[in-house]
């Protein structure tokens, strides 16, 4: 008995020691992770982030993405009053047209109704703002400066006033008065002018009215059917540039498609040359494998930079950058798939007297097609995202439009629009590649 006891005691000790080691390891891993994250926390200066963060920018971003403002501007030097959506030239109201909440009287005065009973009157150089529950605010711009009269002795914190500039921000709108101009801004929910710009005869019409116009015969634009005119006005919308945006989306898709398919076509023959069972020559095999490693190791970023020097901005650079990077990836994956093919099928084809090329065509290709196609489709989806990124770097496709819209720091509604389009495109590619892949896999199962 004593003979067996000793090994059991030993084994018990060994097991206890193993448990102890494992427990120590399990405890150490979270500690190491925590220590690393703490290190990063200070390396990235996250405590200082609170100071650098521009929360006012965030507020502008959020507000701008679901609302728009209409500016009513009086040029205090010439006395002209103009109205424009977002204050941009493309959203300017044409002569004789104004929003229904602006009443123009005479050449140089206007009454602007803001929500919640607020009202602004511009009469020459004088601006009068009636704030319910506070009283009238009067500001007169002159060459010397701005003369501000308030109902209270002390200015409340929503009015910032100096000799050169008065800024009034209420929940109903915003008014700024400077020597050069008086500007009233009224906010509204939505994306303005998304379908029609102000110069289009279809602006402001409801969907029912538009449908009626399409059905009824009266032509609004001469020489053009109403449907064609409506589609044309939306397509050529200067504010949202639907035409350019759709072209850009298509360019992004084109980059992904050309890059992925081109890479697959280049990589397939190279994969045969780097697979052990098809290329017995070690030197050739190693050479091709190193080529794949090199293509993959030089990142898409470097390829993009190098290629953009030769081909300039546009979809060509993006397509070729994706093509080169993915030739490396596909080459590696395809050669692994080729090394796993069943040699018996090739023997079977050979036994019927097939020549080498026919052996590949009927003995190898049918075996690897499902794997290849499924990988290619997966990459097509992921490359749609890469194409957006490459477009942002080199200039092309929807990535370019996105960076342009972000750089202006004003068109956040466009940024949200582009983001929605990109997400829809990627989700669509994800869905379609999933459907095709499932089909291929079930077709494969059905065959066996």
* Helix axes of 365-390 and 412-447: crossing angle, nearest 10 degrees: 180
Q: Would you say 239 or 316 has its CB closer to other proteins? A: 316
Per DSSP, which regions of 79-164 are E strands?
A: 81-85, 102-105, 109-113, 119-123, 126-131, 135-141, 146-149, 159-161
How many angstroms separate the CA atoms of 291 and 281, rounded?
16
The token duo for 192 is: 């303005």
How many angstroms separate the CA atoms of 330 and 272, rounded?
12
Q: Which helix (H) or strand (E) holds 214?
A: helix 207-215
The token duo for 317 is: 């650079």
Q: Would you say 113 or 406 has its CB closer to other proteins? A: 406
Three-state SS at 237:
coil
Label the pairing between strands 67-75 and 81-85.
antiparallel
Q: What share of the chain is helix, strand, coil (3-state, %, to 5)?
A: 60, 15, 25
Q: Would you say 17 or 35 has its CB closer to other proteins? A: 35
- Residue 169 sits at φ, ψ, to 5 deg, of -120, 115
- Shortest separation between residue 311's beta carbon and other proteins, angstroms: 4
Is residue 202 within 8 Å of residue 193, measured between CB atoms? Answer: no
- Shortest separation between residue 299's beta carbon and other proteins, angstroms: 5
How many angstroms separate the CA atoms of 63 and 79, rounded?
31
- Shortest separation between residue 258's beta carbon and other proteins, angstroms: 5
Residue length of the chain? 448
For 92, residues 6+ apart whose C-beta sits below 8 A from its C-beta are 82, 83, 84, 85, 198
The residue to which tokens 């050169």 are assigned? 164
Supply angle C-alpha 253, 419, 312, rounded to 5.
45
Taking Cα atoms as reference points, which of 325, 327, 309 lies closest to residue 317? 309
For 276, residues 6+ apart whose C-beta sits below 8 A from its C-beta are 285, 339
Give residues in contact with other proteins (CB under 8 A).
Answer: 33, 36-37, 40, 43-46, 49, 52-55, 57-58, 61, 247, 251, 254-255, 257-258, 261-262, 293, 296-302, 305-307, 309-317, 319, 385, 388-389, 392-393, 396, 399, 402-403, 406, 409, 415, 419, 422-423, 426-427, 430
For 75, residues 6+ apart whose C-beta sits below 8 A from its C-beta are 81, 82, 180, 181
Q: Would you say 131 or 415 has its CB closer to other proteins? A: 415
How many angstroms separate the CA atoms of 121 and 229, rounded?
39
How many angstroms separate the CA atoms of 100 and 408, rounded?
30
């Amino acid at each position: 008995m004593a003979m067996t006891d000793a090994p059991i005691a030993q084994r018990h000790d060994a097991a206890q020691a193993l448990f102890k080691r494992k427990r120590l390891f399990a405890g150490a891993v979270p500690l190491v992770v925590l220590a690393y994250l703490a290190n990063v926390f200070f390396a990235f200066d996250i405590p200082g982030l609170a100071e650098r963060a521009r929360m006012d920018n965030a507020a502008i971003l959020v507000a701008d993405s679901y609302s728009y403002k209409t500016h009513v501007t009086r040029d205090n030097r010439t006395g002209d009053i103009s109205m424009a959506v977002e204050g941009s030239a493309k959203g300017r109201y044409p002569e004789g047209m104004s929003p229904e909440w602006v009443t123009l009287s005479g050449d140089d005065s206007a009454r602007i109704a803001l929500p919640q009973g607020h009202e602004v009157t511009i009469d020459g150089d004088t601006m009068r703002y009636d704030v319910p529950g506070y009283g009238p605010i009067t500001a007169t711009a002159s060459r010397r400066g701005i003369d501000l009269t308030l109902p209270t002795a002390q200015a409340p914190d929503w009015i910032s006033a100096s000799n050169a500039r008065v800024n009034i921000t209420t929940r109903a709108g915003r008014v700024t008065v400077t020597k050069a101009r008086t500007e009233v801004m009224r906010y509204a929910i939505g994306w303005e002018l998304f379908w029609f710009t102000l110069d289009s005869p279809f602006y402001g019409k409801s969907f029912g009215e538009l449908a009626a116009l399409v059905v009824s015969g009266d032509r609004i634009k001469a020489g053009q059917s109403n449907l064609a005119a409506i589609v044309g006005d939306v397509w050529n919308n200067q504010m949202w540039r639907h035409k350019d945006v759709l072209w850009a989306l298509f360019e992004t898709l084109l980059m992904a498609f050309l890059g992925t398919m081109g890479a697959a076509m280049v990589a397939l023959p190279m994969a045969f040359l780097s697979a052990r069972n098809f290329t017995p020559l070690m030197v050739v095999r190693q050479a091709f494998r190193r080529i794949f490693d090199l293509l993959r190791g030089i990142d898409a970023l470097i390829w993009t930079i190098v290629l953009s020097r030769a081909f300039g901005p546009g979809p060509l650079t993006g397509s070729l950058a994706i093509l080169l990077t993915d030739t490396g990836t596909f080459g590696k994956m395809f050669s692994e798939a080729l090394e796993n093919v069943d040699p018996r099928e090739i023997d079977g084809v050979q036994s019927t007297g097939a020549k080498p090329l026919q052996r590949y065509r009927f003995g190898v290709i049918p075996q690897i097609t499902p794997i290849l196609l499924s990988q290619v489709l997966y990459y097509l989806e992921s490359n749609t995202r890469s194409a957006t990124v490459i477009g942002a770097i080199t200039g092309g496709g929807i990535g370019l439009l996105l960076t342009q819209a972000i750089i202006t720091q004003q068109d956040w509604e466009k940024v949200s629009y582009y983001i929605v389009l990109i997400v829809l495109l990627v989700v669509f590619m994800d869905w379609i590649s999933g459907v095709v892949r499932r089909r291929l896999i079930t077709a494969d199962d059905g065959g066996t």
